């Protein structure tokens, strides 16, 4: 099994790469269409902005590959957000795989932006419910494909699933043992 970590301008590639290496899964970082076509599954990594990520995907002719794939695909943080139609971040049209918009978290006395740190994920999948590490300023709350939720001032989606596409707002690669369990759960879908 080979996992293609799509290099789309984010800064978190090595953390994700090493999270797969720790569980003895071959992962490759690439932005080459021909290389990525050979992979069994894809990761859209986190850390970055919607505009930059979408521009990098366009520059490398990867939009159609992602939109049309039937291979398991996991979007992490910004990688999850770009699965939706639109992001308020950089006023960006995204991949349109999942209906809905990504909105900016509104700060107040109790809510700081970005959300940085551990937060609880509530899901019906018992073995992946728990506390994960988040680093986000944007969120989505369209429940149609949500399978996990968290609270940060209000309820938001922390895990989504549509067909072969999975998304998590948190960073499993920075979430210790439970993050590794989440990644293994994704691998078991392949």
Residues annotated as catalytic are 77, 171, 173
Positive/negative CA dihedral, 175, 115, 87, 97: positive
Distance, in Å, from the CA atom of 89 to the CA atom of 186, rounded to the nearest integer, reads 27
Q: In the numeric block, which tokens belong to residue 128? A: 């992946």
Distance, in Å, from the CA atom of 145 to the CA atom of 129, rounded to the nearest integer, reads 17
Distance, in Å, from the CA atom of 19 to the CA atom of 41, rounded to the nearest integer, reads 15
83: how many CB neighbours lie within 10 A of its CB?
26
Q: Which residue has the tokens 């850390």?
A: 47
């Amino acid at each position: 099994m080979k996992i293609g970590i799509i290099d789309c301008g984010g800064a978190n590639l090595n953390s994700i790469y090493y999270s797969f290496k720790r569980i003895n899964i071959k992962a490759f970082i690439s932005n080459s269409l021909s290389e990525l076509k050979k992979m069994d599954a894809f990761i859209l990594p986190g850390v970055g902005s919607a505009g930059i990520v979408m521009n990098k995907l366009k520059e490398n002719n990867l939009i159609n590959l992602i939109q049309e794939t039937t291979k398991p695909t996991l979007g992490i943080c910004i990688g999850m957000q770009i699965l939706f139609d639109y992001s308020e971040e950089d006023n960006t049209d995204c991949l349109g795989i999942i209906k809905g918009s990504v909105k900016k978290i509104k700060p107040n006395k109790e809510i700081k932006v970005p959300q940085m740190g551990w937060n609880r994920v509530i899901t019906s999948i018992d073995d992946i419910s728990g506390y994960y590490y988040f680093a986000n300023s944007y969120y989505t709350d369209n429940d149609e494909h949500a399978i996990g939720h968290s609270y940060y001032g209000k309820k938001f989606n922390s895990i989504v699933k549509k067909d072969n596409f999975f998304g998590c707002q948190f960073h499993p690669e920075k979430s210790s043992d439970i993050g590794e369990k989440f990644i293994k759960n994704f691998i078991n879908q392949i």
